[in-house]
Chain A
Amino acid sequence: MVLEEVWTSRFMWFVYALIPCLCTGEVAVLPAPQNLSVLSTNMKHLLVWSPVIVPGETVCYSVEYQGEYESLYMSHIWIPSSWCSLTEGPECDVTDDITATVPYSLRVRATLGSQTSAWSILKHPFNRNSTILTPPGMEITKDGLHLVIKLEDLGPQFEFLVAYWRREPGAEERVKMVRSGSIPVHLETMEPWAAYCVKAQTFVKAIGRYSAFSQTECVEVQGEAIPLALALFAFVGFMLILVVVPLFIWKMGRLLQYSCCPVVVLPDTLKITNSPQKLISCGREEVHPCTMAVMSSEEIFRVWIS
């Protein structure tokens, strides 16, 4: 009888304790974030999850991680994420937390005021060697005859393998290792009238993996058009000089001749043309000493000048 009374009173206490929860209809505990996953591309790791929706409220999230070392030797240690001790968005950049090529466990919980949810742990630990490596972006330029490449800057963990060759049958493919992107690198001095092709891939030493090669890009070296026009212009100019200069010299000569040593020209009035006076030359006829010699007008003028 006594035992029955004790059980009955305890049962009633339990029922009374449940009444507030049954009446209010509110969730006392914040739900834990769901669907945790890591999106990783080119060594940038983003932890994402489904947001916890509380109408009219802003839910914050905390992220913690544990490397393989911690999980093996000190499983109670969880390290707060560098950037997401309390973050609003349902995502967290954990790149600075995942610093070794070992599996990392990640966990998230939601916080709203004084309420915190349970921890939600990533189903499968994440290893950064599973990151997706994409072919690098590259810019091929010609600096005269120089083949220059500029690669995408992917950070200090990335190196680039650049393969380039002359586009002709049996051409040898050359490879150059480029330590970092964003700086133009000279590949080769090209030969005129030749086409060159280039492709590149990334290499991440920390995980020992290569990306796929980028699309091949080819460039052609033309270069002849400019010297041809120049040669044509030079030829025309030379021919002009060949004609103009002698003409100029001749003209200048004539000018100098006229100005320095002019030719004496008699005026028309002193010229004898069909003169009625007879010209008598010495020695042909007997000449009387007292006979007057008839001279031409030119002779008269000459005698007069001298």
Chain B
Amino acid sequence: RYPEGAFPHRSAFLPPTVCVPALWGSVPWGMKLQCVSLWLLGTMLILCFVDSRSLRKCLISTDMHHVEESFQEIKRAIQAKDIFPNVTILSTLETLQSIKPLDVCCVTKNLLAFYVDRVFKDHQEPHPQILRKISSIANSFLYMQKTLRQCQEQRQCHCRQEATNVTRVIHDNYDQLEARSAAIKSLGELDVFLAWIDKNHEVTSSA
């Protein structure tokens, strides 16, 4: 009765039904133009809504609040170790902000892989308390990757050129620094990534 992870959603936008094909010949040009543009707008909205709705449902069971909380506890300690404050790896918030809805899935998948495959591995943390929090975040990211993979098996998560370019820029920025410094800097920029996920996936936190 209550399928896991599903919550009631508002119904999709329906285009107006004034443009009945049988009466098309008798409709004046002005009205025809209006009808066409309304249909196009309606179709676009449906596509956008369906696509973004599917992404929101994918990560809906992730406890993002806990991940954000874990990061906040170690943020100061991690950022204090960053010796290149004027350099950025996630290419500032603007680059991530410019990512279109169709590319969100691919960029999320790629950035999760970036952190899991490179950043967490390159960072050697000596303090047990900070190590616990990083472990918590890393394992949560692993879970998010699995969830995203399962979800995207049903819907396709194509990587367009724009998404691939953004990912390449981030990897290039990372490679310009020595691995340990790059890892510390990327860890320090986790709040940027988490905020972006929050915004694009509308994952509500269980506080």
Contacts and interface: CB of A to CB of B under 8 A. Distances in A.
Contacts of B143: 100-102
A32 B8 CA distance: 52
A150 B100 CA distance: 44
Interface of A is mostly: loop
B120 interface: yes
B171 interface: no
Given A156-B206, A205-B63, A208-B4, A67 B120 contact: no
B138 interface: yes
A206 B63 contact: yes
Contact of A69 (B5, B132, B138): B138
A206 B66 contact: yes
Contacts, number: 69
Interface string B186-207: 0000000000000000001011
Best-buried of B60, B66, B138 by chain A (most CB within 10 Å): B138
Contact of A208 (B61, B128, B204): B61
Contacts of B121: 73-74
Given A73-B120, A97-B132, A157-B206, A208 B139 contact: no
Contacts of B116: 69, 73
A97 B146 CA distance: 20
Nearest to A127: B143
A68 interface: yes
Nearest to A208: B61
Given A67-B139, A205-B206, A161 B2 contact: yes
A102 B206 contact: no
A80 B130 CA distance: 12
B63 A70 contact: no
B142 interface: yes
Interface in B1-34: 2, 4-5
Given A74-B121, A99-B70, A209-B4, A69 B63 contact: no
A69 B146 CA distance: 12
Interface in A138-164: 156-159, 161
B99 interface: no
Contacts of A69: 116, 120, 135, 138-139, 141-142
B2 A206 contact: no
Which secondary structure characterizes the binding site on chain B? helix
Interface in A72-94: 72-74, 77, 79-80, 82
Nearest to B7: A177
Interface string B35-65: 0000000000000000000000000111100
B169 interface: no
Interface residues of A, number: 28
Given A69-B135, A79-B128, A208-B61, A100 B142 contact: yes
B181 interface: no
B88 interface: no
Contact of A68 (B5, B70, B142): B142
B130 to A, nearest CB: 11
Contacts of A209: 4
Interface in A188-245: 205-210
A42 B114 CA distance: 33
Contact of B61 (A67, A70, A100, A205): A205
Interface in A48-76: 67-70, 72-74
A208 B143 CA distance: 12
B167 interface: no
A156 B62 CA distance: 14
Nearest to B6: A208
10 contacts: A67-B139, A69-B142, A73-B116, A79-B132, A99-B66, A100-B143, A102-B139, A102-B146, A207-B61, A209-B4
Interface of B: 2, 4-5, 60-63, 66, 70, 116, 120-121, 128, 131-132, 135-136, 138-143, 146, 204, 206-207
Given A74-B121, A102-B146, A156-B207, 15 more contacts: A67-B135, A67-B136, A67-B139, A69-B120, A69-B141, A70-B138, A80-B128, A99-B66, A100-B136, A100-B142, A158-B206, A205-B61, A207-B61, A208-B61, A210-B4
